[in-house]
Amino acid sequence: MTANLLDFDLEGLAAFCEQLGEKRFRAVQLFRWIHQRGESDFERVSELAKSLREKLKSAARVEAPRVLERHDSADGTIKWLFDVGGGNAVESVYIPEDDRATLCISSQAGCAVGCRFCSTGHQGFSRNLTTGEIVAQLWYAEHTLRRELGTQDRVISNVVMMGMGEPLQNYGALVPALRTMLDDHGYGLSRRRLTVSTSGVVPMIDRLRADCPVALAVSLHAPSDELREKLVPLNRKHPIGELLDACMRYLEAAPRDFITFEYCMLDGVNDTAEHARELVALVRARGIPCKFNLIPFNPFPASGLVRSPQQRVQAFAKILLDAGIVTTVRKTRGDDIDAACGQLAGDVRDRTRVDERIARQRTVMLKPVRGHVGDGKSV
């Protein structure tokens, strides 16, 4: 089996070149052809001697997973479904805006965390993606879009690890992928424009701080352990207090001087005025520099949950804003192609019945708190 060069960061590619009996600096040239020019045919890498091109042809390849489907939304959002074998597929979403263009990338086929409100979580865990499969999503999207737009300039300015999977539970493959995205010979993204989103894998937040600090988003979703445990099962292992301590430590090395907290707004579950006030108290008590990103829940079949009404989201945001916390409400993009947060299922097998069973079990676990004190006031 030949080596897929998308699996290597520059350091790894240099080691591979050495194995082929080549000087390490050849790796820089090759890396630039692959990532900056989107080349996958070694024959066309004219900068390299014919003898090296021949060696590469027999020992290596540049291969992205096959595209199974592409959906273009009316708002410019594009979703690709990549076949990663064994009946699994993962999704990437391109989100163009006025001043930037973001690619949302997957890190795993499925996810083991099993958050109550997440379609990927309902699907269960299939497997970790390789570094090459993570990088290939950017490689493919960037160079496909450049061709379509007829430009040599960089198209994707930001990357968020917010697709399918928990990136910090695939740490070994994630870090070389991040390094390739950051590398000036690769995609040259700034650390501030590369975001890892996590449901709170505390020990890995510390490792990321040491190995490859990029912008961090933490999926909080609840102000108390009692509620968060029901929404994000990982909270039983790493409760909120430990998570916030890890966030404080992360800030010492982070490229941004705040942590982004994501908060999925679920009707009658975590969206009352009381919850908002608890959140304010929580972050104030810790003095943690943060921003909140409120994500209106994106429903999917079998979730058994409902999106908070817009008014309630606004009321919730106002409480945070009045307390001096920068808060944004995420615009939903790609609604017409099921490309919004948490709608990425990417499974090509029919698992509907399994999903329904899981959903039934989980609905019993989670009692909505609609009607409690505070809810009425916030509406």
Catalytically annotated residue among 17, 22, 91, 262: 91
Look at residues 16, 12, 15 and name the one whose alpha carbon lies nearest to residue 60.
16
Q: Under 8 Å CB-to-CB from 172, ≥6 apart: which residues?
A: none
Q: Is 91 annotated in the active site?
A: yes
- Give the pair of three-digit tokens for residue 112: 């083991």
The least distance separating ligand SAH from the CB of residue 118, rounded to whole angstroms, comes to 3
The contact mask relative to ligand SAH for 99-128 (x = CB under 6 A, - = no) is: ------------------xx----------
Q: Which of 123, 144, 197, 270 binds ligand SAH (CB under 6 A)?
A: 197
Q: Does 42 bind ligand SAH (CB under 6 A)?
A: no
Interior angle at CA 118, CA 112 and CA 122, nearest 5: 55
Q: Which does 128 bind (CB under 5 to 8 A by kind): ligand SAH, ligand SF4, none?
A: none
The least distance separating ligand SF4 from the CB of residue 266, rounded to whole angstroms, comes to 12
Q: Does 264 bind ligand SAH (CB under 6 A)?
A: yes
Q: Where are the beta strands (DSSP E) in the chain?
A: 3-4, 60-61, 66-72, 78-85, 88-96, 101-104, 108-110, 125-128, 158-161, 194-198, 215-219, 259-265, 290-296, 326-329
Selected range binding ligand SF4 among 67-75, 116-124, 148-156, 267-275, rule: CB under 6 A:
116-124
Q: Is 75 helix (H, G, I), strand (E, B) or coil?
A: coil
Q: Which of 36, 199, 270, 308 binds ligand SF4 (CB under 6 A)?
A: 199
- Give the pair of three-digit tokens for residue 40: 């996958």
Q: Which does 114 bind (CB under 5 to 8 A by kind): ligand SAH, ligand SF4, none?
A: ligand SF4
Q: Which does 78 bind (CB under 5 to 8 A by kind): ligand SAH, ligand SF4, none?
A: none
DSSP line for 253-266: T-SSSSEEEEEEEB
The least distance separating ligand SAH from the CB of residue 265, rounded to whole angstroms, comes to 8
Q: C-alpha distances in angstroms, 141 versus 35, 284, 303? A: 11, 40, 30
- Give the pair of three-digit tokens for residue 78: 């594009």
| Catalytic residue IDs | 91, 341
Binding residues vs ligand SF4 (CB under 6 A): 111, 113-115, 118, 120-121, 165-166, 199, 219
